[in-house]
């Protein structure tokens, strides 16, 4: 698991390229905000969290399946991550930030549909 990246992942890089190409300027992994969000748009007081479907437990997603081995460990690990995500989102909202969560599967599906023109819905 040491080789698993938590910054500059492929989905995050695609989102960042799209934002920059559409004129949005942002900060990365702001240390002054709870959880060091992936992308911070200070002008819009918005943070974007790009979550991996497996690591963050994206329910009803084809990329997230509970592992069949060492199930107790994985259930505890992923459940803690999901709880931490909820807590951090609440903290950011309480500070007055807008929180946008983009899932790995959303980015992947859009790339499959049209690899040359990735359009993300930030709703």
Using alpha carbons, list the distances in angstroms from residue 84 to 18, 36, 59, 80, 113: 27, 12, 16, 6, 32
pLDDT at residue 110, rounded to an integer: 76
Q: What number is the average pLDDT over the span 70-85?
A: 94
Domains of the chain: 10-113 (3.40.960.10)
pLDDT at residue 120, rounded to an integer: 46
Q: What is the pLDDT of residues 26-41, one digit of tens each?
A: 999 999 999 999 999 9
Relative to beta strand 27-28, strand 39-41 is antiparallel
pTM of the model: 0.83
Give the confidence band of 121 by pLDDT, cuts at 50, 70, 90: very low
Q: What number is the average pLDDT over the span 1-25?
A: 80
At residue 122, does pLDDT exceed 50?
Answer: no
At residue 3, does pLDDT exceed 60?
Answer: no
- pLDDT above 90 as % of the chain: 56
């Amino acid at each position: 698991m040491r080789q698993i990246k938590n910054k500059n992942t492929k989905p995050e890089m695609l989102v960042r390229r799209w934002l920059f190409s559409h004129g949005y300027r942002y900060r990365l992994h702001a240390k002054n905000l709870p959880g060091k969000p992936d992308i911070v748009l200070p002008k819009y007081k918005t943070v974007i969290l790009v979550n991996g479907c497996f690591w963050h437990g994206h329910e009803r997603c084809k990329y997230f399946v509970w592992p069949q081995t060492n199930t107790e460990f994985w259930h505890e690990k992923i459940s803690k991550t999901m709880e931490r995500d909820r807590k951090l989102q609440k903290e950011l909202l309480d500070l007055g930030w807008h929180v946008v969560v983009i899932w790995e599967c959303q980015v992947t599906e859009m790339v499959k549909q049209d690899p040359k023109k990735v359009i993300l819905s930030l709703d």
